[in-house]
């Protein structure tokens, strides 16, 4: 004899549970999101973690190491530019600075600035992605 009620699920039954604690502020934010979306808390958290969370999963230690390497390379490049500028000033004082050398230095400086601007744009994009 079949009992009344919901028929048993064949697949997709949720049997695993995670217990999570929140601060008052975090919980208030979840309540506000629940009210705004019209979804239950569990469904809202499932959606945020499982659907939108895929793009958030990063190895933060690896990312920080890579950012350190990038920062170090930028520092080295800036130091090299300062040395070239100092050398160009010395050559200019001695009257040995040629137009060809100036053109070459300016070309390299423009390439460096283009790379640096692109890197800054990518860093802003990364920060926006990590913030969302």
Retrieve residue 93's tokens. 């004082």
Summarize pLDDT for 65-112 with one digit per residue, the tens.
Answer: 888 999 999 999 999 999 999 999 999 999 999 999 999 999 999 999
Summarize pLDDT for 24-63 with one digit per residue, the tens.
Answer: 999 999 999 999 989 999 988 888 888 765 665 677 788 8
Retrieve residue 83's tokens. 């040395």
Its sign, for the CA torsion 78, 80, 82, 85, is negative
């Amino acid at each position: 004899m079949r009992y009344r009620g919901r028929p048993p699920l064949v697949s997709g039954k949720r049997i695993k549970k995670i217990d999570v604690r929140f601060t008052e502020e975090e919980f208030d934010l979840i309540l506000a999101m629940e009210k705004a979306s019209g979804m239950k808390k569990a469904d809202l958290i499932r959606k945020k973690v499982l659907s939108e969370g895929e793009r958030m999963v990063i190895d933060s230690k690896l990312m920080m190491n890579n950012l350190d390497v990038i920062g170090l390379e930028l520092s080295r490049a800036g130091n090299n530019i300062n040395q070239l500028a100092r050398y160009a000033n010395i050559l200019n004082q001695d009257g040995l600075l040629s137009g060809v050398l100036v053109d070459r230095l300016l070309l390299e400086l423009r390439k460096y600035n283009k790379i640096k601007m692109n890197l800054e744009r990518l860093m802003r994009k990364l920060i926006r992605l990590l913030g969302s």
